[in-house]
Amino acid sequence: MELTGQVAVVRGEEELWARTAHLFATATDVACAANDLNTWARSRHPPTPPRVVGMRVRKIYRPSVLLDPNSARHVTEVNALGADVRITPDELNETIILDRRLAILAGETSGGVRNYSVIPLPDVVAGVMSLFEAAWRGATELAVYDAQTAELRELAPRVLELLGTGCKDETAARSLGLGVRTYRRRVAELMAALGAGSRFQAGVRARELGLV
């Protein structure tokens, strides 16, 4: 652990949860933003209570979390337990905020280990909370987004497979029984869900997430 002023920089999820598990156990207001489930490793993360009674739990994820069936199932279960879950295609500051008093910011990964900053400074936490609230307002409720993207998620594995082969759009569209325009629109939607700026980046991101 490294201390910078009142900010503690810890390395890895194990050290993070060792330092903060007691805070999660007593928190009544939890706000979480993450690109996917890999940021806050579930094996180290205190579980969402069986019922979120007397607590306010809000979680924002990027769309890619719904492309993997296991991740999608976890997110749906968390939502069913009482947490409010929303999806946003926008960039996120990956963070957890506890009781509006403590912010945990996910940092860079070095040597396979991720750094996290644990920040108790009121002014900084207020700023991070403001960013979260803005992202929350612009995000879509899980049920609504789920319904809007059902077809894309069904097609995603096959589209990723076809992109990996490098076949022409016309060939890929024909194999899916789609028009070329529709296929290209689905590819663009999939790229957006993966946060990719190109088809190549989409393939890289899909591999990182274990989708291919």
Residue range 200-211, pLDDT digits in tens: 888 888 887 777
pLDDT of residue 50: 45
Sheet holding 56-61, edge to edge: 2-4, 7-11, 113-119, 102-110, 95-98, 29-34, 56-61, 84-87, 140-141
Q: How far apart are CA 103 and CA 99, in angstroms?
A: 9
The CATH number given to whatever domain includes residue 100 is: 3.30.870.10
- Asked if residue 79 and residue 11 are part of one domain, the reply reads yes
116-137 mean pLDDT: 95
pLDDT of residue 179: 92
Range of the domain at 160: 149-208
- Amino acid letter for position 71: S
Residue range 163-191, pLDDT digits in tens: 888 889 999 999 999 999 999 999 998 88
pLDDT category at 83 given cuts 50, 70, 90 is very high
For the ranges 79-83, 110-114, 115-119, 132-136, the lowest mean pLDDT is seen at 110-114
- Asked if residue 59 and residue 45 are part of one domain, the reply reads yes
9-13 mean pLDDT: 88
CA-based end-to-end distance of the chain:
36
- Quote the number of domains for the chain: 2
- Asked if residue 133 and residue 180 are part of one domain, the reply reads no
Residue range 27-67, pLDDT digits in tens: 999 999 998 887 775 444 444 444 456 789 999 999 988 88
- Asked if residue 51 and residue 18 are part of one domain, the reply reads yes
pLDDT of residue 49: 46
Determine what percent of the chain is predicted with pLDDT higher than 90: 38
87-113 mean pLDDT: 90
- Asked if residue 110 and residue 19 are part of one domain, the reply reads yes
Q: How far apart are CA 35 and CA 130, in angstroms?
A: 18
- Asked if residue 36 and residue 75 are part of one domain, the reply reads yes
- Asked if residue 143 and residue 155 are part of one domain, the reply reads no
Residue 189 C-beta-side C-alpha neighbours within 13 Å: 18
